[in-house]
Every structure is written in structure tokens, then in C-alpha cells.
Structure 1
């Protein structure tokens, strides 16, 4: 009898060991530890400041709404956007040496408050507004558009659009000239389309425009769109203030012989 009891105990012990072994060797596989590839993305941030001085509403104010990049090349993109906003939102001949959006706003509002304390009878509210968005994005290129308006006294304020182009992989800033391997050929095409749109014959300035040296030139701002390159001349850039902006669109098919990589495409964002 003792012999059978011992044999049964041995069988139970072996079964228990096998169960323990099976349980300890089963390692669940999850995807939590698998790193996802870094992707460039944007999230808009809003900064606002308002003066406490002024006899009535609206009071002097600053509103900055800009995309903030996260991912590869984010620092380069964010620094470029900030420096551009700093050049836009300022009073005086030179932009303030601000290190943050808060300092940019404080400088603008501070300039207003300093003047209104000296000349309280000439209290007219100032305004600075910047609205930014991602106008275009694909695997090669990102186009940030800043629409801005600044009034700091005088007959009227000034509104404009600014185009900032970036390499989507590195965050490197792209100059408009970098878009084309044959700038001369692209400029000739743009002039032909510009003349056709605004019915200009003969001298480029014959209809009241004021291109420098009476010679057509590409604008400072070129926007990348789903349809092609939008060449935009802001108010006062080549025409009288009352005429507003001038622009011309060059489709990607038209621009293809002159393009340089990285190239956008009609797909876009």
C-alpha cells in the first residue's frame, strides 16, 4: 500500500512541475514596447495680451495663433516661425530682442503705453494679430502661412500674408529660390501668366504697377497649394494700397521643367 501511495505522490509532483514550467515560460507579447516612427505634426498655440490703459474699448491688444511643430526638425521650424512673428509684431525701426512670444507682446503693448502716457489726448488703440496655419504638407515639404495685421497709429494698418517653407524631413527652411533649378525660366513663365491675367502689354508698369527698374520679378511669398505655386504680391508690394494683393497661379504641370527637389504634388494635405 505504501508503495502505491509513493507512486501517486510522484505522479502528482511531476504534473505540478510541468504546470509551473508551462506557466513561467509563457511570456505575453504586446505592442506597447514597439517604438512608433517619429512623424512631424502640428498643434496651434494661442498667445494673447491686452493693455490696461485706454479710455474705451477696444483696447490695445495682441493676438498670436501659430502652429507649433512636434517631431523631426521641430526646433528649426518653431524657431523660424517665432523669428518671423517677432519681425511682424513690433513698433519702431527694429524688432525687439524678444526671446519668447510673451516678450514680443509685452514689447508691442509697452510701446503703446509709453506713448499714450506722453500723449494722453491722442489715445488710439493699437492692434497686432497673427493667424497661422499649415497651408500645405506632404512627405517632402511643409508650407506655413501667416496672415497678419498690425496697426500702430497712422492712416491705416497693414495686412499681409507670409509664406514659410520647410523640408518635411529635416525642418530646414526652404527659400523660394530653392524651389526651382531654372529660376530664369520659371520667372519668364510667371511674367507671361501675370501679364495675361492683368492684361498688361508693353512696359510691365504701364498699368500703374511699380516693379523695381520696370522689370518683372517674383514675389517674396510663394505658396504651395494643391493646384500649384501661388505667387502672391502683398498690398503695397507692386501696386497701390487701394488695389490690394496681386497673385498668379502656376500649375505643377507648367512648373515641372523648372522645379527642383523636394517637389510638392497636387495631392497635398
Structure 2
């Protein structure tokens, strides 16, 4: 009887070992799929620097090799975000009349270019090119997540161009986009730590009034940035221009190490 029990235990052990090996191989395959990729570039239109006129769209992004389903799904979502970025500068009626504008960068550019030409017809003396540029790259890849950032530059007239960054968290297994707040276990504590770090970076006293110092708050209260992401060493917080300070201040970013976020961030879900 004892020999039989030992045999069963050994068999279960071998089964668990085999399953463990299989899981590790699958994770390694997924991780490898995201470690390899290529730079995807697209450019449409041009800006004539002599006449200071024209419309142009440029895309320069990193794409994962589409050897696994999750990578293909993520690439599709990123492509859709880029098209949305371009279309955000176009007339909604023109987009509705042009289905191709929602399907490709080229289609989106054609509407953007048409809007520019219509504008120049109405205001022929208006100087300046219209430009949109989107760049994208990974922030970090783990067996569980792919962290990605998109940087957006646009100029369609006015005193200065607009720039902003968006960070995205994707499930490395399923390929779906995740809400970064799902990795936070204590948002109140996180907000306190971010405000403390913000004041340190901006050299603002602990009890100083941020609004009187020129910062923008929501209902007179400090807030987390719309964009933050995970790195190997900590959480990187990023306030876009105009989000909490004047355009001239530019983006405000800082990193808080994981050691200072123990019990606040679910690190086990990241790595």
C-alpha cells in the first residue's frame, strides 16, 4: 500500500512538473513574440518650407512581430489609436463621408489634407503647414504585460503646436488593453505619494497653494495624471502640457520607485 501511495505521489509530481514546464514554455514563447518587432513608417503629403504651406502626416512606430495572436490584436488596437489621433484634427462630417478615413492612415490623411485645402481656399493668406506626427514604442515588456507609449505632435495653426503622450497597458497573453488603475490597490495612498513627489519635483512647499502657484487643479484638488506607466524600477507619472500647468512649462514627469509603493501597486500582476 505504501509503495502504491509513493507511486501516485511521484506520478502527480511528474504531472505537475510537466505542466510547469509547458506553462514556462508558453510564457517564453509569448515573451519572445513581443521581444521581436519592427519599425513601421508611413508618410503622406509634404510641407513646403519655402512657401510655408502644405499638409503632412508622419507615422513612426514599433510593432511586435505578428507571430502570436496577442501581438496581432495589440498591433490592431495601436493602429486604430493612430488613425483616431489623425482624425481628431479633421472635420467630423468629412470623416463620415469618407469611410476610408477610419480604416487606414492614408485614408485619414486624405481627409486631413482635404480639410487643409478647404481652409486655405477660405483663408489663402493664412501661413503655416498642417502637420500630424505620431511615434510609438514599448516602455517595457514582461511575460504578463506589454507597456506602450504614443507621442503625438500636431500643428493646425495657432500660436504653437500641440503635443501629448498616451500610455497603454496590454495583456501579453490575451492582447486586450487593461485599465492601469486595476494595478493599484490603494488609490488614496497613491494620490498622496504622487502629490508629495510632484511638490518635490516642482519645488513647491508642502503647504503651499498649488493654484496660487499657477497650477491647474480639478475642483481645487490635486489629481493623478491621465497617463502613468510601469518601468523596471518604478512607476513613471507623466502630466501632459496643459494638463496641470501652462504649455510653457512643458510635460512634468517623475518616477516613484516600487519600494515606496509597497502595498499601493500590485507589482505581482506586472512581473
Worse-matched range after superposition: 190-199 or 166-175 = 190-199
Give the 3-state SS of the residue equivalent to 1:110 in structure 2. Answer: helix
Aligned position for 2:124: 120
Q: Label 1:207 to 1:262 Cα distance change in 2 as closer, same or farther (>3 A).
A: same
Q: Label 1:256 to 1:171 Cα distance change in 2 as closer, same or farther (>3 A).
A: farther
Q: Distance in 2 between matches of 1:65 and 1:50?
A: 15
Aligned position for 1:241: 247
Q: Label 1:164 to 1:83 Cα distance change in 2 as closer, same or farther (>3 A).
A: same
Give the 3-state SS of the residue equivalent to 1:74 in structure 2. Answer: helix
Q: Distance in 2 between matches of 1:197 and 1:53?
A: 41
RMSD: 2.6
Aligned position for 1:63: 58
Q: Label 1:54 to 1:254 Cα distance change in 2 as closer, same or farther (>3 A).
A: closer
Unaligned segments of structure 2, at least 5 residues: 1-25, 96-100
* 1:50 maps to which of 30, 45, 49: 45
- Say if 2:127 is the partner of 1:130: no
- Quote the offset at 1:211 in angstroms: 1.2
- Quote the offset at 1:227 in angstroms: 2.0
Q: Distance in 1 between matches of 2:33 and 2:184?
A: 24
Give the 3-state SS of the residue equivalent to 1:109 in structure 2. Answer: helix
TM-score by length of 1: 0.76
- Quote the offset at 1:143 in angstroms: 1.2
Unaligned segments of structure 1, at least 5 residues: 1-34
Structure 1 runs of 4+ with >4 Å offset: 35-39, 51-55, 92-95
- Quote the offset at 1:94 in angstroms: 4.9
- Quote the offset at 1:204 in angstroms: 3.3
Q: Label 1:183 to 1:100 Cα distance change in 2 as closer, same or farther (>3 A).
A: same
Q: Distance in 2 between matches of 1:231 and 1:93?
A: 32
- Say if 2:70 is the partner of 1:77: no
Q: Label 1:108 to 1:128 Cα distance change in 2 as closer, same or farther (>3 A).
A: same
Aligned position for 1:21: none
Q: Distance in 1 between matches of 2:234 and 2:261?
A: 8
Residue by residue over 1:24-51, the C-alpha shift from the partner in whole angstroms, topping out at 9 and shown as x without a partner, is xxxxxxxxxxx99454333221111015
Aligned length: 231
Give the 3-state SS of the residue equivalent to 2:175 in structure 1. Answer: coil
Aligned position for 1:150: 154
Aligned position for 1:186: 190
- C-alpha contact 2:130 2:157 (8 A) present in aligned 1: yes
Aligned position for 1:253: 259
Q: Label 1:52 to 1:199 Cα distance change in 2 as closer, same or farther (>3 A).
A: closer
- C-alpha contact 1:167 1:262 (8 A) present in aligned 2: no
Residue by residue over 1:112-169, the C-alpha shift from the partner in whole angstroms, topping out at 9 and shown as x without a partner, is 1221233322242111111111121111111111122000111111012211111111
- C-alpha contact 1:51 1:59 (8 A) present in aligned 2: yes
Q: Distance in 2 between matches of 1:121 and 1:198?
A: 42
Aligned position for 1:30: none
Q: Label 1:188 to 1:60 Cα distance change in 2 as closer, same or farther (>3 A).
A: same
Worse-matched range after superposition: 95-104 or 247-256 = 95-104
Bigger Rg, structure 1 or 2: 1
TM-score by length of 2: 0.76
